[in-house]
Structure 1
Amino acid sequence: MPLPSGNQQWPPAALDSVRDKLTVWDAWYCGDPNALAAVYGGQGGTDPGGTGFFSSERGGWRAAVGRTLQRWFWGQPTPSGEQRSKLHVPVASDIARTSADLLFSEPPTVKGPDDTTTKRLGELVDDGLHGTLLEAAELAAALGGVYLRVVWDRETYPAPWLDAHPASNAVPEWQWGRLSAVTFWRVLEADGDRVIRHLERHEPGFILHGLYEGSRDNLGTKVPLTDHAATAGIARALTSGDAIATGITQLTAVYVPNMRPNRLWRGNPAAAHLGRPDIAGTEPLLDALDEVYSSWMRDIEIGKGRIIVPGAYLESNGPGEGASWDPDRRVYSPLNLLPRSGDGATIEAVQFQIRVTEHRDTAQDLLEQILRSAGYSTQTFGEQGDAAVTATEVVSRNRMSFTTRNRKIVYWRPALDTAVETLLAIDKVVFGTNVTVGPPTIEFGDSISEDPKTLAETAELLNRAEATSRDTLVRMLHPDWEDEQVEAEVDRILEETGRLVADPTLTGAEGPSDAGFPSDGGGSRP
C-alpha cells in the first residue's frame, strides 16, 4: 500500500478523538503548568514534550477539553493583575515512571533457539535494550501504548537495534485486532503555516519514506527526500521507488498496549485496539489534587507572620518620597490607627491560621483514589516509610501493584517476543550474522530482590528438611547464573563437604559419595 497522498488532513480525521485525549494525557505526563492551562482553558502555551504532535501541528496547545468546563481548576483563568499561583503535583509522571520500574528495573533475560543466537542476543541486549525498554514502558503507561521498531544504519553502526516510538506520532492500521501496518511521522520544520513532515510507513517486507511540505492541518505536497538534510541519507538506502525492502516477511514494528480494553474508543475501528494509560479516568482527581495543594500553598502565603505598626514608626525618605521601614523588621505596611484609650503607640502582630491537617488529609485521600484507580498500592510510592522489610512483606504490602505488573507483562511478553525475533531476522538478512531466527525465550526480572540473609535462612531450612537438591539451592541463591556456573558451584560444594569422592567402580571418574545414607546391603540408596 503506498504512502498517503498529499492534500489531506494530517493527522487523519479518524484519529481526532484520539488526538484530543492524547493531548490531555500528554499534558499531565509532561507536567507543564502552561500545557495544562492551555489544554483545559484554551490559554496560550507550548508543547513541553517537543514531539511536534501538538504544538507544531496546531500552533500551540489547544483546548482539548473546552472552555465550557470552567469548573476544571486548570481551566480557570488567572484574574487580571495577579500572578498565577497554581501548583502542579507530578503524580501522572510518577505513576508512569513507577510502572516502568516495576516492569524493567532489572533487565529481562533473553535467550535464543541455540547458543550462537543467545550469544548474539546478549550483545544486542547489552547495546542499550534495557534503557530502551525502560523508556518504552514509561511512554506506554503515560499515553496508553508504545511502538517498538527495528532500526538499522549500516553506514554508522554494525548491528540493528530497537527504538521506542510514542503512540502520539503514529497512525496504526489493524486487521483482526492485530497491527498490519503503521505510519510514523515527525515534523522537521514548522515556519508559520508551512510545515515539513517526514512519514515512515512500516508494512510487511517494506519500509516506505516520504517527505511532505504542507500546512498545520494539511499533509501537502510530496517532495524528494533529498530536499531536506534529515532525510537525504535515507534516499541513498531506497531499493525500489520510495521503499526499502527489508528482506523479511515480518512487520518491522510492533505495538505494545499498556492495558486493554480502552473504554473510550471501543466503537472506533481506527482506535479500538489501542491501549489505555494508567491515569485514564483519573483526570478530575488529578485536577482536584492540584487545587488542594495550591490552596495549601495559598494558606502558607497568606499566613506568613506580619506586624502592623503606626506610621510614626516609619523612617521618612525625604519630602515627597514617603516613608519606609527596614525589611528585616518584618513590617507589613503602615496604617494610620487612632490610639485606643490608655494605649500609646502599639505594634500589632497578625498571623492567620494555616489549615495543615485539612489540606493534608484531603490530598492523601485524593492520592489514594488516584493510585487505586491506576491499579497501584500506596505503599509502592513510599507511603509506609523506609523501615527495613523482607521481600515477602514488600510483595504483600504491594499486592495490587504486582497484580497490575503481571497484567502488563501479559501484553509485553508477546510484543517483545515478536520484536526480538524481528531483530534477529534483520540481523541475519541485513548484516549476514549466523543466527537462528525463531521465537526467543524471555524471562522478566524480579522487581524486588530478596535479601541474602532471608535467602540463606530459607536454603538452610530446605537443606535440613532434605526437601530439595544442591542444584536447586544454588539456583535459588544465584538466579542470574548460567547452567555451567550452577554445575561448577554444586561440584565445589560437594567437594568441600566431602560428598564428591572417587567412584571405585569407575576408573578416573568422580561422583557423589553415599556417605551419610543408609545402605540395604546392596550399596543402593533408600
Structure 2
Amino acid sequence: MTIQYVKQKFPPPPFDDQLENILYFRELYEGNHENIFDITSLNQDAIATKKELRKVPYYSRPRVEQKVKALESNIRYVVVNFSAVIAELPADLINRSLGNISADTENDNQLLEFVEAVSKTSKINQNIWSAVVQHQVDGGVAYRIRRDAKGTWFEWKPADLYLEHEDGLGADITWKEKREKKEYLRVERQRIEGDKLFIKQLVFLIDGDTVKEELEIREYAAQYKLIIPDDQVLDGVNELMCGFVPNDETLLVPRGRSALRNVDKIQEEINWTITRDSIVFEKHGKPKLAIPSGLWDSVANKNHSHYGSRFVRNADLEVVSYDEKNGAVPMYIVWDAKTEQSFEHVKRLIEYMMSVSKTSPQAAGVKDGKGESAIALLYLWIQSVIKAEAIKDKFDTAIKEAIRKCTILENALGGTNFEIKDPVVEWADMLPKADSEKDDEESTKYERGVQSLETTVRNLHPDWSEDAIQAEVDKILEEKAVNSMNPTYTQPPKANVNDEDDDDE
C-alpha cells in the first residue's frame, strides 16, 4: 500500500491534481496574477500599431517603431492583492496570541526542560505565522518530528510534500534536491507495521516530473558528503512521527481546501477594473496641447517639404507664432474624468471578497475599524476572530501532538522514560487591549480566585523571563505577608474594685 515512484510521474495521483490547485493559489497569494489570469487584451494596441508599420514609408518607420515600443512599455496590469490579506490576517491574530508552552507537570523538572528545549529548537513562536499562512494558501500544512545533533524537535512542511499512504498506516515526506546539474527526489517513508514504526530514507533520480530510477541512499550520501540518518525501527511506537493539519476539510476533500478558493474571480475583476481606470488615465489624464488649424497646417507643410510627410512634432511647437487678428494661440486641454462609479464598483467587489472569505472589512482595512474598547473592537472584528479561533484550535492540537510525539521519539531513542501526555499551550487574546483594560481583567481574575498569581504576572508581562516572573511573584507574596501582620492591641478585661470589703459588716 506504499507509493510507487520509479518510472512514474511526480507527484503521483491523486496528489498531482492537488498540486495544481496549490500552485494556482500560491500565485494568487503572491500577487503573480498575470500568470493565472488572461491579460492578452492589453497587447491589442501594440499589435494594431505593428500592423500599421507595414503601410508607412520607410522614412516614417523609426517613428512608428518608437510608438510600438512605448505602447509595449506602458502596458500595466494593476494588481491590488487582497488575497494576501485573507491568508495573512488569521496568521497575524494567531501569531500575537500564542503564549508560553510548557509540560503539564510541576514536579518533573527534566520533562519541563525537555519540552522547553523542543519548543526553543522548533522555533514554534517564530514559525507559527508562516505555518498558518501556508495552511491558508495551500489548504493544509504538515509537520515532521526530527532527532539530530540539535536535539529532538519538529518542523512545519508544505502540504504538497506530505503524501499519506492509502491505508492510513504510513506517509512519505518528499522533497527535491539539485546537485551537480542533476535533480534528485528524497523521500522519508514512515510506516506502521504491528507495534513497530519503520522510518526509511529513499532517494530517486528525477528528470523534470518523471522519476527515473531508485539509487542506493548510502552511495548518494557518500557521493555528495551528506549526513543522512540510518533506517530506524521503533519498537512499541504505533503512531507516525509526522502529521497533517487540513483547512476547511470535507468528507469529499479530506486533505483540506485553500482559504482563497472562492475569491479568485472577484480578485480578477478588481484588478481589471483598476487596470481599465489606469489605462484611461494614462491615455487621457495628461494635459494635451491644442493648436489652431492654421498653425498646424503651416508646420505640417514645412515638414512635408523637408521630410516628404505631413506631421507635427512637439519640438516644432517650442517656439511658435500666433494669429494677432483672431487671437488664436496654442492651449492645453485638461480632461475632467468622472470615476466615482468605478471606485464604488471596486469597493463593492472588495466587500464581496471579504464576505466570501469570512474576513471582517474592518480587519482588512476596508472600513473604519476604530473601537472605544477591546470589547467594541471585538464586535467589529468578530467574523475574522471566529475564523482565526477555529484555525487556532487546529494548530493548538497540532502543536500538542507534535511535542507529544517528540517525547515518544526521545523515549525510544534517547533512553528516557518521560510521561507521555500533551503539553500546556497558553493562548492570549487575539485582539490588542489598552493596558488599563488588560490590568483590570487580570486583577479581577486573580481576586476571584480563578487564576493563579503566577499566571496573572505572566499575562501582565508576557515579555518577562521565567526568573523575572518568579521574582515578582515572591515580591508580591512577601508584601502581602508583611501587610497581614497588623498588630492588634487588646485591652485587658475591666474589673470592679470595691473600697470596702463586703464581708466586713
Distance in 2 between residues matched to 1:199 and 1:353, nearest whole Å = 63
Cα drift, residue 23 of structure 1 = 2.6
Letter in 2 for 1:455: K
C-alpha contact 2:83 2:260 (8 A) present in aligned 1: yes
Distance in 2 between residues matched to 1:382 and 1:301, nearest whole Å = 28
Cα drift, residue 164 of structure 1 = 1.5
Alignment partner, residue 510 of structure 1: none
C-alpha contact 2:22 2:137 (8 A) present in aligned 1: no
Please, which moves more after superposition, 477-486 or 17-26?
A: 477-486
Alignment of 1:284 onto 2:265: yes
Letter in 1 for 2:155: D
Alignment partner, residue 437 of structure 1: 420
Distance in 1 between residues matched to 2:230 and 2:457, nearest whole Å = 52
Alignment of 1:214 onto 2:206: yes
Distance 1:249 1:458, change over 3 A: closer
Distance 1:260 1:353, change over 3 A: farther
Alignment partner, residue 516 of structure 1: none
Alignment partner, residue 45 of structure 1: none
Distance in 1 between residues matched to 2:3 and 2:230, nearest whole Å = 14
Alignment partner, residue 17 of structure 2: 17
Letter in 2 for 1:126: K
Task: String of CA shifts for 1:452-490, please: whole Å, max 9, x gaps.
Answer: 222345578x59xx9725966885565258795675355
Alignment partner, residue 167 of structure 1: 159
Letter in 1 for 2:125: H
Of 480, 486, 498, 1:494 maps to: 480
Alignment of 1:250 onto 2:231: no
Distance in 2 between residues matched to 1:108 and 1:415, nearest whole Å = 15
**Gapped runs of 5+ residues in structure 2?**
48-67, 490-505
Say what the alpha-carbon RMSD is for the aligned residues. 4.0
Structure 2 SS opposite 1:137 = helix
Task: Give identity over the alignment, percent.
Answer: 14
Distance in 1 between residues matched to 2:413 and 2:102, nearest whole Å = 21
Q: Number of residues paired by the alignment?
A: 437
Task: String of CA shifts for 1:199-221, please: whole Å, max 9, x gaps.
Answer: 22233423322222233342221
Task: String of CA shifts for 1:14-53, please: whole Å, max 9, x gaps.
Answer: 23432332232121022224532xxx45xxxxxxxxxxxx
Distance in 2 between residues matched to 1:167 and 1:230, nearest whole Å = 30
Alignment partner, residue 307 of structure 1: 289
Please, which moves more after superposition, 416-425 or 100-109?
A: 100-109
Cα drift, residue 394 of structure 1 = 1.7
Q: Which has the higher helix share?
A: 2
Distance in 2 between residues matched to 1:503 and 1:202, nearest whole Å = 72
Cα drift, residue 399 of structure 1 = 0.5
C-alpha contact 2:289 2:332 (8 A) present in aligned 1: yes
Alignment partner, residue 523 of structure 1: none
Which has the greater radius of gyration? 2
Distance in 2 between residues matched to 1:227 and 1:77, nearest whole Å = 53
Distance 1:230 1:199, change over 3 A: farther
Cα drift, residue 319 of structure 1 = 6.4
Relative to the length of structure 1, the TM-score reads: 0.71
Letter in 2 for 1:197: L
Cα drift, residue 324 of structure 1 = 5.4
Report matched runs for 1:383-394 at 5 Å.
Answer: 383-385=366-368, 387=370, 389-394=372-377
Alignment of 1:364 onto 2:386: no
Alignment partner, residue 77 of structure 2: 86
Task: String of CA shifts for 1:59-118, please: whole Å, max 9, x gaps.
Answer: xxxxxxxxxxxxxxx575733355341112222222222121111224333221334222
Distance in 2 between residues matched to 1:474 and 1:313, nearest whole Å = 88
C-alpha contact 1:108 1:445 (8 A) present in aligned 2: yes
Alignment of 1:395 onto 2:385: no
Distance in 2 between residues matched to 1:281 and 1:459, nearest whole Å = 40
C-alpha contact 1:368 1:378 (8 A) present in aligned 2: yes
Report matched runs for 1:56-455 at 5 Å.
Answer: 74=39, 78-79=43-44, 80=47, 82-83=71-72, 84-114=75-105, 115-116=108-109, 117-127=111-121, 128-154=123-149, 157=150, 159-173=151-165, 175=167, 180-189=169-178, 195-204=183-192, 205-225=197-217, 228=220, 232=224, 236-239=228-231, 244-245=232-233, 248-261=237-250, 266-267=251-252, 272-302=253-283, 303-309=285-291, 310=295, 325=314, 343-385=326-368, 387=370, 389-432=372-415, 435-455=418-438
Structure with the larger RCO, 1 or 2 (CA within 8 Å, 6+ apart): 2
Of 468, 490, 501, 2:448 maps to: 468
Distance in 1 between residues matched to 2:205 and 2:488, nearest whole Å = 81
Letter in 1 for 2:229: A
Distance in 1 between residues matched to 2:451 and 2:254, nearest whole Å = 45
Cα drift, residue 3 of structure 1 = 5.9
Cα drift, residue 142 of structure 1 = 0.8
Distance in 2 between residues matched to 1:459 and 1:442, nearest whole Å = 18
Letter in 1 for 2:115: L
C-alpha contact 1:299 1:355 (8 A) present in aligned 2: no
Distance in 2 between residues matched to 1:393 and 1:306, nearest whole Å = 51
**Gapped runs of 5+ residues in structure 1?**
42-73, 327-332, 505-526
Task: String of CA shifts for 1:270-314, please: whole Å, max 9, x gaps.
Answer: xx3111121112211111111122123223322122323455789
Please, which moves more after superposition, 447-456 or 359-368?
A: 447-456
Alignment partner, residue 32 of structure 1: 32
Task: String of CA shifts for 1:131-185, please: whole Å, max 9, x gaps.
Answer: 222211110011100001123332xx3x13221211123322355xxx5432232
Relative to the length of structure 2, the TM-score reads: 0.74
Distance 1:457 1:292, change over 3 A: same
C-alpha contact 1:376 1:400 (8 A) present in aligned 2: yes
Letter in 2 for 1:219: V
Distance 1:418 1:25, change over 3 A: same
Alignment partner, residue 492 of structure 2: none
Cα drift, residue 342 of structure 1 = 6.0
Letter in 1 for 2:267: L
Distance 1:340 1:212, change over 3 A: farther
Distance 1:343 1:103, change over 3 A: same
C-alpha contact 2:141 2:158 (8 A) present in aligned 1: yes
Letter in 1 for 2:288: R
C-alpha contact 1:491 1:500 (8 A) present in aligned 2: no
Distance in 2 between residues matched to 1:356 and 1:34, nearest whole Å = 25
Structure 2 SS opposite 1:108 = strand
Distance 1:2 1:273, change over 3 A: closer
C-alpha contact 1:225 1:234 (8 A) present in aligned 2: no
Distance in 2 between residues matched to 1:404 and 1:183, nearest whole Å = 30
